[in-house]
A = this chain, B = another copy of it.
Amino acid sequence: MTAEFVTPAAGGGSPLPGKPLPYVLEAGEGERAHLFDQLFTVLLSGDETDGQFGVFTMEAPRGQAIPVHSHADVHEIFFVLDGKVRVVVEDGDGGRVDKVLTTGDFGYVPAGHRHTFRVESHRARTLGVNTGGFERFFAAAGERTSSTMPPAQPVVPSPEQLGDAARRYRNEFHFDAHLID
């Protein structure tokens, strides 16, 4: 259902094979992108999994909550590799799951549920898994980078770029919603 927004990596520069072939990556290798104060590294895309799932890591310093958003077609997990991340998800029944996750903890955000997160430690790293294709939203909204670290200065996309990426990956922002005060 989502293969349509699976976007092959821009020519060259990606260590991913682009089709279902075996490969390995050393820690830090992958398609890296900066968005806001975060470093995203895509390890696996829908291109390698027949659109089933993608895998990425995220690293960021303590900061603000990201804008509340939802993606109608995309399931997503948070697995904390290091640090503390507060995840808030609307449960669809008027309530919320609201939890500070730390190393080894897991959170699940099913398709269509509004959610946000905030790093609550000096630094944090998470591993994400999403319905295949969505993993390249971060590069589309931000910028590809060869850096191995989160950006020294936040990478803030123009409203046009963010809007284009959101439409392309069907990621809906709810700027009037605040799940974390």
Question: A48, B108: Cβ atoms under 8 Å?
Answer: yes
What is the CA–CA distance of A88 and B91 in the complex, to the nearest angstrom? Answer: 41
CB proximity of A179 to chain B, nearest CB, Å: 11
Interface bin, chain A? 35 or more
A129 touches which of B25, B55, B89, B92 (Cβ 8 Å): B55
Interface status of A104 (Cβ within 8 A of chain B): yes
Residue of B nearest to A112 (CB): B20
> In the complex the two chains form, what is the Cα distance from A108 to B153 in whole Å?
33
Q: Give the residues in chain B near A23, CB-CB below 8 Å.
A: 97, 107-108
Flag whether A77 is at the interface (Cβ < 8 A): yes
- Tell me if A3 counts as interface (CB < 8 A to partner B): yes
Asked if B24 contacts A107 (CB within 8 A), the reply is yes
Which A38-52 residues have C-beta < 8 A from chain B?
43-44, 48-50, 52
- Contact present for B105 and A3 (CB under 8 Å): no
For residue A3, which residues in chain B have a CB less than 8 angstroms away from its CB?
Answer: 91, 93, 95-97
**CB <8 Å contact, A96 and B1:** yes
Cα distance A77–B55 when bound, in Å?
9
Interface positions, chain A 44-99, Cβ under 8 Å from B, are 44, 48-50, 52-53, 55, 75, 77, 79, 81, 87, 89-99
- Confirm or deny: A150 has a beta carbon within 8 angstroms of a beta carbon on chain B: no
A22: contacting residue among B28, B52, B97, B102, CB under 8 A: B97
